[in-house]
Amino acid sequence: MAKTNGGTRMDGAKRIYVADDDGNIRQIIKTFLESDGFEVEDFPTGDLLLQRFLERECDLVILDVMMPGSSGFEVCTELRKTSTVPIIMLTARDSETDYAMGLGLGSDDYITKPFSAMSLVMRVRAIFRRIDFESQKRAAPVAVTAGGLTLDEPARHILRGRVPLSLTPTEYELLKYLMLHAEQAVSREELLNQVWGFGTAVETRATDDTVRRLRQKLDGCGVAIEAVWGYGFRLTADGGKP
């Protein structure tokens, strides 16, 4: 047990890069974000962050405006040339000019120091929530089918052939989400966010339980919820093996 996995070793965890020349601030931000389940890498300069980003992208970037080398603004501009990664700018000043410049250059949010670590975490969460909302939004077809299942959204029914399955609310939401993402691997994190909601404090293992109960009811439906080892689940049409 000599090695800690730098926090949570969850494949679904969002990766965040932080650049700030103040080591204390970096540490605080890192600690808070990690305790919230994010995977964080921090850099003393924006240039280093940029360099790292180019070799490996992340899910969100937090940039201090004033740093040695390239300023946060410059790094932001540079990032935007190749990526749409969400960016949060930090600044000591609170001038409207800075404000407009930051958001104008393509950052998603702009926080002035001093700020509470908690509020930063909230902002981060808000951005990820927005992204998840959008990914969830993708079309709302009245009837989706996967294998031998049919989703009847208005009726809040999922039909096995012609007979509606008897599902509990959680089961229904979960299966619905899987059907809307059939054949795609869905991480436990994602399920938790989409089905249970965001603020909810539930163990990721809860998904396993619901999936387990669902599998029993789905027996011989032409579909299967298979496990994606170390990641989550995937709904697939199995030709129907008895």
Chain positions contacting DNA, by CB under 7 A: 1, 5, 9-10, 166, 168-171, 196, 201-203, 205-206, 208-213, 215, 226-232
Q: Are the CB atoms for 66 and 91 separated by under 8 Å?
A: yes
Query: Which of DNA, a second copy, none sits in contact with 213, Cβ below 5 to 8 A by type?
Result: DNA
When asked if residue 35 is in the footprint of a second copy (CB under 8 A), the reply is no
Do residues 171 and 213 touch, judged by C-beta distance below 8 A? yes
**Distance in Å, CB of 154 to DNA, minimum:** 17
Which residues have CB under 8 Å from 66's CB, separation 6+?
21, 72, 91, 92
Nearer Cβ to a second copy, position 68 or 230? 230
147 binds, among a second copy, DNA, none (CB under 5 to 8 A by kind): none
Q: Give residues 86-125 in contact with a second copy (rule: CB under 8 A).
A: 86, 96, 99-100, 103-104, 106-109, 116, 118-119, 122-123, 125
Shortest distance (Å) from residue 129 CB to a second copy: 7
Task: Find, among 108, 142, 103, the residue nearest to 123 by Cα.
Answer: 108
Give the closest residue to 165 by CA, choosing from 149, 153, 181, 180.
149
Adjacent-strand bridge partners of 88: 62, 109
Distance between CA 102 and CA 98 in Å, rounded?
Answer: 6
Alpha-carbon gap, residue 10 to 229, rounded angstroms: 12
Q: Are 203 and 225 in contact (CB under 8 A)?
A: no
Please give the single-letter amino acid code of residue 51.
Answer: Q
CB of 183 to DNA, least distance (A): 17
* CA-based torsion, 230, 233, 238, 242: positive or negative: positive
231 binds a second copy (CB under 8 A): yes
Q: Which does 133 bind (CB under 5 to 8 A by kind): DNA, a second copy, none?
A: a second copy
**Which residues bind to a second copy, rule: CB under 8 A?**
2-3, 5-6, 11, 39, 41, 52, 55-56, 80, 84, 86, 96, 99-100, 103-104, 106-109, 116, 118-119, 122-123, 125-127, 129-131, 133-138, 154-157, 168-169, 183-185, 190, 193-194, 197-202, 228-231, 234
